[in-house]
Chains A and B, each alone.
Chain A
Amino acid sequence: GAVVSQHPSWVICKSGTSVKIECRSLDFQATTMFWYRQFPKQSLMLMATSNEGSKATYEQGVEKDKFLINHASLTLSTLTVTSAHPEDSSFYICSAHRSSYNSPLHFGNGTRLTVT
């Protein structure tokens, strides 16, 4: 079955530093990947749509200069949290869609980011 790999699974960083999270589709090509954020005891909120070979599309209220997304190949999208602050601490989950219609979205295992 389809597998989406996300790395790292958890990371602790200091305020002001940047953190990169990788999302890979392991056995299929994904022209579109999605990045979600989940705060404790809340639902998943879509942050942005990552499009291979073009700019990401950000949801309203998400700062594109703070959350840099790069989708350089059909199997890899990266999310970089720049100049992280404690309020960026959250659970970040990526998802990918196999390039065929009427198929489910597959999710990575998430990255728990803690900014101290």
Chain B
Amino acid sequence: GIQVEQSPPDLILQEGANSTLRCNFSDSVNNLQWFHQNPWGQLINLFYIPSGTKQNGRLSATTVATERYSLLYISSSQTTDSGVYFCAVSSGGSNYKLTFGKGTLLTVNP
């Protein structure tokens, strides 16, 4: 099956800093989603982005499908941004069955 690698595994920032999270995948994809998992376990859907660039407030994401990677940008980080960020992809016949990366644990200190 498709492989998903996220980097870095851990990231510590001071409030106000910017960061870039990366997701590499091993095959062509027809779905890619970025999630933020909060301390209560809730998965917050940040972006549905199988290709192209999207922005939502301080967050933006870019997927370069031909080169098999996606980037999540967080600008002016806040303590509430802390948590685990997951990239998940699907490929082949189903664009619903997501394979998750191992995530990036982000800690934003005040």
Interface size on A, residues (CB 8 A): 24
Q: Is the CB of A97 within 8 A of B96?
A: yes
Q: Is the CB of B45 within 8 A of A46?
A: no
CB of A49 within 8 Å of the partner chain: yes
> How distant is the Cα of A34 from the Cα of B45 in the complex, in angstroms?
16
Q: Is the CB of B41 within 8 A of A107?
A: no
B16-57 interface bits toward A, Cβ cutoff 8 Å, 1 = contact, 0 = none: 000000000000001101010000111101001010000000
A106 to chain B: which residues have CB within 8 Å? 45
Q: Is the CB of A93 within 8 A of B96?
A: no
CB of A103 within 8 Å of the partner chain: yes
Q: Is the CB of A34 within 8 A of B97?
A: yes
A48 to chain B, nearest CB (A): 10
Residue among A32, A42, A105, A106 with max Cβ neighbours from chain B (10 Å)? A105
- If A44-B86, A109-B41, A110-B42 touch, does A49 touch B97 (CB 8 Å cutoff)? yes
A101 to chain B: which residues have CB within 8 Å? 95
CB of B102 within 8 Å of the partner chain: yes
CB of A61 within 8 Å of the partner chain: no
- 7 further A-B contacts with Cβ under 8 Å, apart from A43-B100, A45-B100, are A102-B30, A104-B31, A104-B33, A104-B45, A105-B88, A105-B98, A110-B42
